[in-house]
Amino acid sequence: MPDTMRAFVIKGVGQTAVVEKPIPEPGPNEAVVRTTAALICTSDVHTVRGAIPVPADRTLGHESVGVIHSLGSAVTGFEIGQRVVVGAVTPCFACLPCQRGFTSQCQGMLGGYKFTTQMDGNMAEYFLVPAAAANMAVIPDDITDEQAVYCTDMLSTGFLGVEHCELQLGETIAIFAQGPVGLAATIGARLSGAGFIIAVESRPERQKLAQLFGADAIVDFTAGDPVEQILALTGGEGVDAAVEAFGFPQTFQDCVRATKPGGRITNIGYHGEVPEPLQIPLVEFGLGMADKQIYGGLCPGGSGRMTRLMRLIGTGKIDPTPMTTHRFPFSEIEAAFEMMTTKQDGIIKPLIQFA
Amino acid sequence: MPDTMRAFVIKGVGQTAVVEKPIPEPGPNEAVVRTTAALICTSDVHTVRGAIPVPADRTLGHESVGVIHSLGSAVTGFEIGQRVVVGAVTPCFACLPCQRGFTSQCQGMLGGYKFTTQMDGNMAEYFLVPAAAANMAVIPDDITDEQAVYCTDMLSTGFLGVEHCELQLGETIAIFAQGPVGLAATIGARLSGAGFIIAVESRPERQKLAQLFGADAIVDFTAGDPVEQILALTGGEGVDAAVEAFGFPQTFQDCVRATKPGGRITNIGYHGEVPEPLQIPLVEFGLGMADKQIYGGLCPGGSGRMTRLMRLIGTGKIDPTPMTTHRFPFSEIEAAFEMMTTKQDGIIKPLIQFA
Amino acid sequence: MPDTMRAFVIKGVGQTAVVEKPIPEPGPNEAVVRTTAALICTSDVHTVRGAIPVPADRTLGHESVGVIHSLGSAVTGFEIGQRVVVGAVTPCFACLPCQRGFTSQCQGMLGGYKFTTQMDGNMAEYFLVPAAAANMAVIPDDITDEQAVYCTDMLSTGFLGVEHCELQLGETIAIFAQGPVGLAATIGARLSGAGFIIAVESRPERQKLAQLFGADAIVDFTAGDPVEQILALTGGEGVDAAVEAFGFPQTFQDCVRATKPGGRITNIGYHGEVPEPLQIPLVEFGLGMADKQIYGGLCPGGSGRMTRLMRLIGTGKIDPTPMTTHRFPFSEIEAAFEMMTTKQDGIIKPLIQFA
Amino acid sequence: MPDTMRAFVIKGVGQTAVVEKPIPEPGPNEAVVRTTAALICTSDVHTVRGAIPVPADRTLGHESVGVIHSLGSAVTGFEIGQRVVVGAVTPCFACLPCQRGFTSQCQGMLGGYKFTTQMDGNMAEYFLVPAAAANMAVIPDDITDEQAVYCTDMLSTGFLGVEHCELQLGETIAIFAQGPVGLAATIGARLSGAGFIIAVESRPERQKLAQLFGADAIVDFTAGDPVEQILALTGGEGVDAAVEAFGFPQTFQDCVRATKPGGRITNIGYHGEVPEPLQIPLVEFGLGMADKQIYGGLCPGGSGRMTRLMRLIGTGKIDPTPMTTHRFPFSEIEAAFEMMTTKQDGIIKPLIQFA
């Protein structure tokens, strides 16, 4: 058995590399997983651009699945060799925010997001799983690695945006931007009983996927104010709920503008690129009194959520894999990451396959 | 214009007739609708059997759509001639239970259910709509009368059972009985993001419809204890939620038995046929402490709910019309009602068409 | 019986007067109340300053109680001569937002607030009540007019801010500003099981009332950044919930800053004075992902809510009347309004008594 | 340092003893606490009567506080010597029910209740704490041991009954039985904004405590049907919510009977004494459709909940210690337990003090 592995790391702002590292050893509550498949996330592109300060040689990646390689002494209920999925957020499940249900705020703001920010990520041949008993979910035989890896972040995050919309059956929803997280929100809206789903997106290939995943109408923001288009599509009244899946100040404002009184606005976009306060337009917020609700969240962690997402795939209710536009072996991770950075060739999600 | 109409009435326990009645005149907050399509409900069969004492010559029916014939002086926002759907429950929307959101308990227990019990029902050529501004919803052009009439009760009631299950995406659910309300619950479970839907039903034609509407597994209770079958299908743990859509004491108990700790049991079955207390099995209820929740409801009323249900039909997300097994002109209402009473010929829902 | 009455009206921006008007006649669903007591609200000060454009001679006021003078033909369940309280918000309870529970958004944004904006207000000897069956609540004998009149707006609005905080028993809360609405929020926080209540206020007489009503700590924002003081009082972690009861951009931001991840911010302040977007500070909002929730509301209407608030007074659990700092007969309404405008003499709420 | 301790154990059905046992050693995620104060719970009386089969020499008790004696290798954030409270329910916080928030159903039905049923209880000089990082809460200096020990079970359980009532401010509630858990529910109802609190109890000393803790009315069930008395107290309409804090079949039925349509019934009584199904009266349950909700729960675990309960005591909002009717040194535990069994001398809660 080897004792070293290859890992895709950040060297410094704007610099990445594949390096050799020791295969990690699990502490009592941890496990080590041998990676079989991973997806590259735009969050990592942000990280490499310097959005989050991390030490040199920190491994990137937080969307991986694999096979249990070793188990800590206090981890029960699992066996070496089982295929498992591990969420992008890996909470301790013991601290006060976790007890309260805010697992993505584990031990402090955004603290549930540990890969890369607090420890090595999982774009590597092996990776460590903290609080492994709660964070690993066995992948059923009828789910492929490619399907399972979408549960780690894309589906979990996209669905979160819809869950916080607290939709009643048949309500209307607009989802701003149809990148992979926005597309997952579209899947989630269809799954949650939305009556009319508006996807805001300008790129044809993403519009097409949005329709495949359940959008009833497409709004192209390059063709005019998307809010006016949404108002036109809803008889002037606006939508019951809007999801910000882009991470841009104007988009956030548009979500507030596009909702009717009593509407819900959920944010799942990352707003670290433009370092300005988010703005709530006053009139459309009813001068503070329009019964509008704004929720900004990060996907929660845990094996229970992963299990429920995989069940939806296993019974054929959803299939996120049309988002996989490109496939690379791990040996070509640098080329894949470059492509994700430049968003060439209509890329949505590149799947990384490990030997 | 005629000033009388034909109405299908109860003459006494076990006796029905078609009689001539004056076309109603609307009070200030009421409207009169000329009926175009209706469905017969098993509730009316119960009523004719004597379940609810009603005066002789009271018109039956509570699932009808039609065209506005006249409007009360205080009803605004509608025009004569508009196609409208009116829910089976027609609350006042002003009393304390209505203000609290319990519109089906309008002015007292089950008081929102006014057709036949408190006033003439709507299996007639014309019918009165109380609190018309809140209880009539205009039918969009792309929705047929047949589709709209399913919103009045079947979809609204079936979906209620699922709504009170408060499903998280990907959870498991069992629906006991696949009569029209149970089938609607199956549609609702699929629509609400259930991950695995078990339909309990023995009749092949209803099993087939359940699968069409989204059931992942069928449990035939004539083949053994349905709870044991459900436990076997869920790895021994039971379902997250169970819907009682039958109205039978043992079925209610089975719902409690089939759910895991933390499970939710919702009742939409009518339990008037067996005049005994419902029983909660003690062990499966954790001696009172298993975090199980039981909710028994009646479909809420109002144009908002009707509008949302029609939107789901209009955007092609659901279509309840495969439940229509038979069609009759109103002139044959007595034959249709007889068939609904005896449940001949695999009948599920008979559509009554008005000239 | 007289057929005219005196009413306190706006003549134009900055101008008020007492004028003679006909006593209103009720439509079928309306009632007319003879006023016995009223409170002046700062909202009327805003209106007179021009915040909301209203026609000349529109009667001001929305916080009044009285005795039923006449009833519309379709209003049942009430008798002339009954003492009644009418909420500041008087929804129709029939439109789609009302059916959905957003009664303060009746028929459109903020549309439930009808007094002065859509019809004559109730700072007059008589006033009209729309949708009277749902909007009048009989005042029990053990409740004084002065107590009841606090239910119309102050308690209803202050409590709303706390209700949307969705407090768990023992959580921490900060309430920004202790004007009458903020003081009511403090009462509401104490009533809702908050474990530690921080009131932000600089004026000694308001600080004292806040403590009387249940505040555990006072933060004086003139003594330094209130958020830093709140962090110091909570061991650095911030509060679970914050209520904006002031209506100022910086205060809104402070609410976001003062809450921990997973925190809830509710707005009950009127933000019409500073015509700029509200800002959400990015870091404290977790770049959009800190599981913080923002809710901006307007007090809901209806007799049910009034009845519940009066019950709390009747059983001695709350008593808002220490907020009454001044009393005037209606003949001195102009002096009272002037005092409310200039906030002289430590005024909090002036009670207007009718002959 | 000693390596043995005294523990109060069950020898067999109906038999208890004080025995010598080794002081436990903590595993990696565990801690050992030296007990300073404890309360005897009626649940232990049930256990000794044979309600739950446990091995001979199993230590009784689940309501204790103390000082950290030793810490497992993986437990961080605590120091030896700290005063801590540990809930009666000590979940793992990692399994699927725990992740879902049902911590009292940890790893299976009622599985969060580990003391005595799955491991030694804590009526001993030292006790083991599983999942210690999540289950120990430091006791602030201003809270006495006696106050803190009420948080472990009595307050947590009583409040749970009220929490699941989902009270709106000013609603009405009836609490059936005013033993310590029922009294805690009365405290909780007062704390949660109930408008009118009815306590059902026949013993004068408990009636008196109920009034002290916030009951507005007392119903003595020995003076006639308590439901009729509750209906009389509520103008015939029944209460919004009812709490079953007794554990008796008729009482459960009375809770359903005493609630209005839309009412909530929560069970916190232990129903193991009468091995019969609980019954739901059909008419008062609206034949299954009265919008009534039944919830049966067991107190959740975790340091967060303990911290919130202690905060309410620390800021003077509640004080449960008037429930302490008797005090014993641990050396007299057998006499105290006998008294709790026979309910002599008006005993409510006996405090056990350790040297």
pLDDT digits (tens, 9 = 90+) for B323-338: 999 999 999 999 999 9
pLDDT tens digits, one per residue of B2-15: 799 999 999 999 99
State the pairing for strand pair A217-219/D58-59. Answer: unpaired
Note whether D311 contacts C195, CB cutoff 8 Å. Answer: yes
- pTM beyond cutoff 0.95: yes
| pLDDT for the residue C1 | 67
Query: Are B44 and B149 in contact, with CB atoms under 8 Å apart?
Result: no
**Residues counted in chain A:** 355
State the pairing for strand pair D126-129/D31-39. Answer: antiparallel
Q: Residue C93 is nearest to which of B74, B99, B303, comparing CB atoms?
A: B99
Structural domain boundaries in chain B: 4-155+299-353, 165-296
What number of other Cβ atoms are within 10 A of residue B88's Cβ? 28
| pLDDT for the residue D273 | 86
When pLDDT is cut at 50, 70 and 90, the band that residue D131 belongs to is very high
Among C349, B197, D306, smallest CA distance to A314 is for B197
CA distance B72 to chain A (A): 26
Q: Which residue of A has its CA nearest to C291?
A: A297
Query: Are A33 and A126 in contact, with CB atoms under 8 Å apart?
Result: yes
What number of other Cβ atoms are within 10 A of residue A51's Cβ? 16
State both tokens at C283.
């870091």
Chain C residues touching residue A281 (CB < 8 angstroms):
277
Q: What are phi and psi of A272, to 5 degrees?
A: -85, -10
Query: Are B243 and B268 in contact, with CB atoms under 8 Å apart?
Result: yes
Note whether D289 contacts B295, CB cutoff 8 Å. Answer: no
What residues have CB less than 8 Å from A2, skipping those under 6 apart? A23
C315 touches chain D (CB under 8 A): yes
Rounded to whole angstroms, how far apart are CA atoms D125 and D135? 19
Note whether C28 contacts B95, CB cutoff 8 Å. Answer: no
Rounded to whole angstroms, how far apart are CA atoms B27 and B15? 30
**Residues counted in chain B:** 355
Q: Is the ipTM of this complex over 0.90?
A: yes
State both tokens at A132.
């492994």
| pLDDT for the residue C320 | 98
pLDDT > 80? residue D332 = yes
* Chains in contact with A, where contact requires at least 3 CB pairs less than 8 Å apart: B, C, D
| Fold match, C4-155+299-353 / C165-296 | no
Q: Which residue of D has its CA nearest to C194?
A: D312
| pLDDT for the residue D1 | 67
pLDDT > 80? residue B1 = no
Instruction: Tell how far CA D4 is from the center of its chain.
Output: 29
Among B75, B222, B50, smallest CA distance to B135 is for B75
| Eight-state DSSP code of residue B88 | S
Rounded to whole angstroms, how far apart are CA atoms D8 and D265? 36
Q: Above pLDDT 90, what percent of chain B? A: 97
Chain A residues touching residue D302 (CB < 8 angstroms):
99
Which residues in chain C land under pLDDT 50? Answer: none
Beta bridge partners of C86: C136
Q: Above pLDDT 70, what percent of chain A? A: 100
Note whether D134 contacts A99, CB cutoff 8 Å. Answer: yes
B170 touches chain D (CB under 8 A): no
D217 touches chain B (CB under 8 A): no
- Around B18, how many Cα atoms within 13 Å sit in the side-chain half-sphere? 14
pLDDT tens digits, one per residue of A247-282: 999 999 999 999 999 999 999 999 988 889 999 999
Rounded to whole angstroms, how far apart are CA atoms B37 and B47? 21
Residue type, D127: F
Query: Are B84 and B138 in contact, with CB atoms under 8 Å apart?
Result: yes
What Rg value do the Cα atoms of chain C yield, rounded? Answer: 20
pLDDT tens digits, one per residue of B234-293: 999 999 999 999 999 999 999 999 999 999 999 999 998 888 999 999 999 999 999 999
State both tokens at A99.
């007890």
Alpha helices in chain D, H assignment, sequence order: 42-48, 96-99, 132-135, 145-149, 156-163, 180-191, 204-213, 226-233, 249-258, 303-314, 333-342
Helices (H) and strands (E) in chain A, counts: 11, 17
B288 touches chain D (CB under 8 A): yes
Dihedral (CA of C55, C60, C62, C66) sign: negative
CA distance D193 to chain C (A): 5
Rounded to whole angstroms, how far apart are CA atoms B324 and B348? 7
The strand ranges marked E within D125-248 are 126-129, 136-138, 172-176, 196-200, 217-219, 239-244
Q: What is the CATH number of domain D4-155+299-353?
A: 3.90.180.10
Chain D residues touching residue B277 (CB < 8 angstroms):
253, 279-282
Note whether B303 contacts C73, CB cutoff 8 Å. Answer: no
What residues have CB less than 8 Å from D319, skipping those under 6 apart? D147, D313
Residue with structure tokens 């026979």? D342
Q: Residue B28 is nearest to which of C74, C100, C304, comparing CB atoms?
A: C74
State the pairing for strand pair A31-39/A126-129. Answer: antiparallel
Note whether C134 contacts B27, CB cutoff 8 Å. Answer: no
Rounded to whole angstroms, how far apart are CA atoms A123 and A126? 8
Rounded to whole angstroms, how far apart are CA atoms C63 and C45? 14
Both ends of chain A: CA-CA distance in Å?
15
Rounded to whole angstroms, how far apart are CA atoms C82 and C68? 5
State both tokens at D197.
């609190």
pLDDT > 90? residue A40 = yes
When pLDDT is cut at 50, 70 and 90, the band that residue B143 belongs to is very high
Chain A residues touching residue C263 (CB < 8 angstroms):
none
Q: What is the DSSP annotation of B263-288?
A: EEEEE-S---SS-S-EEE-TTTTGGG
SS3 of chain C: helix, strand, coil, percent, to 5:
30, 25, 40
What number of other Cβ atoms are within 10 A of residue A70's Cβ? 17
Query: Are D160 and D268 in contact, with CB atoms under 8 Å apart?
Result: yes
pLDDT tens digits, one per residue of C194-239: 999 999 999 999 999 999 999 999 999 999 999 999 999 999 999 9
What number of other Cβ atoms are within 10 A of residue B79's Cβ? 8
- CATH 3.40.50.720, domain D165-296, yes or no: yes
Window 107-126 of A: residues touching C by CB (8 A cutoff) are 108-110
Cβ burial, residue C73 (10 Å; 0-12/13-18/19+): middle
Q: Which residue of D has its CA nearest to C190?
A: D191
Rounded to whole angstroms, how far apart are CA atoms C283 and C17? 49
Among C247, C185, C184, C210, smallest CA distance to C39 is for C184
What number of other Cβ atoms are within 10 A of residue D2's Cβ? 8
Residue with structure tokens 């959920």? A266
> Which value, to the nearest 10 degrees, does the dihedral of the CA atoms of residues A314, A320, A326, A327 take?
-20
State both tokens at B189.
């479970």
Mean pLDDT of chain D: 97
What number of other Cβ atoms are within 10 A of residue D168's Cβ? 18
B311 touches chain C (CB under 8 A): no
| Eight-state DSSP code of residue B96 | H
| pLDDT for the residue D276 | 92
Note whether D131 contacts A98, CB cutoff 8 Å. Answer: no
